[in-house]
Each structure stands twice: as C-alpha cells, then as structure tokens.
Amino acid sequence: MTDYVYPNLDGDCKGHGTHVSGLIGSKTYGVAKKVQIHGLRVLDCTGSGWNSDIIAALDFITTYGSKPGVINMSLGGGVSSAMNSAVATAVSRGFVVVVAGGNNGDNACSYSPSSEPSAISVGATDSGDNKASWSNYGTCIDLFAPGASLQSWYFDGTVRTMSGTSMAAPVVAGLVALYLESNPTASPAQVAAALTAAAVSDKVL
C-alpha cells in the first residue's frame, strides 16, 4: 500500500478500503476475481482527509501506474475544481476512473469527484432495484449499482455488511476490470459508453 496519511502504519485501520477492494476483486465477494489491486491510502483512520493527498495519489497513479487500469474512488466531498481537474487528467492519460456518487440524498453535481463528467459516477440501489434513500442522484450519475447491505471483507479478517455508494462504485470498477480484460485497448470513453449501453434504462425506481 502507498500511504499518503500514515507512512509508518502497515495495513488498513478503518475497514472501508478493505471492504471496497474486496468488492472489486476478492475471491469470495469480488466482481473481478483475478484483478490485480494496488491500494493507496488517502484518508485517515476516521475516514477524513485532504484533497491535496487525493490529488497527489491520482498523480502518482497516472505517472507510475500501468494500463489498462481502473481507479476506484470511494470517497467524496464538496465541489472542488482541483479535484475534478485531477480526475480529468487521469482519464486523459488513459485510466478509467469510477467514483462514488455520494450518500447525501442530494444532487451528485454538488459534490466532487462525482461532478466530474469524465468519471463514471455511481449511485446506489437497494435489493429491490430502488434508489437507496441516501444515494445521490441527478444528471451527474452515470450508472446505478447495488450498494445496500453488501458483504465483503473487513480489515480484521471478518466479513462485514456495509452500505453506501462507496460499495456501489467498486461493483462497477470490477465490471470495468472485466471489460478491460477482454478489451485492453479501449479508451476510458469507450469503456464508459459500453457500460452505459449495457445498463438497463428506467429500471431504478
């Protein structure tokens, strides 16, 4: 793990990142079970952080990361032009960026990075294909995916059930990884178009 918050701390101290990565690619709960995952810690043990650390991590990925690749960002905050610009730069350098739409029950265009058009912004549904009551919505949401009461691994080795667009985003990131496995030269725009074309319209209530 590359750490922008606790350089001397080994491993996850919150559980959120482990749960998210497990949904992307764990053998038990992952969508893309053979994906290679690299973790970058940008939030502290309480789940808080600075945009500057997140932007630095994005720059690190786009400088040293290999492609094809997908960046999952299960985080969010107020609208930030700097954050959105960093995401757009990552996309322009060939990385698909999947972001959580936010859990405010509000318009996703009012937050970052969910308001960045080049990212794939993901809202959350419940088990009945309803929009989760807390999920953000609006024109900045590209896709909805399951995000309510999903099971995955926790940092202490147990299995936990968690909810949020932070859980919906890695489901989509896993789908992106599977798509890139079969279409390794696809651009981020082509990947986004393929996923939205495969989605079912007017399904979420």
| 106-132 per-position pLDDT tens digit | 999 999 999 999 999 999 999 999 999
10 backbone φψ class: left, alpha, beta (φ>0; ψ -120 to 50): beta
Q: Per-residue pLDDT for 10 more than 80? A: no
Q: How confident is the model at residue 33 (pLDDT cuts 50, 70, 90)?
A: very high
What share of the chain in percent tops pLDDT 90? 90
Cα–Cα distance measured from residue 161 to residue 149, given in angstroms and rounded to the nearest whole number: 5
pLDDT in tens, 127-156: 999 999 999 999 999 999 999 999 999 999
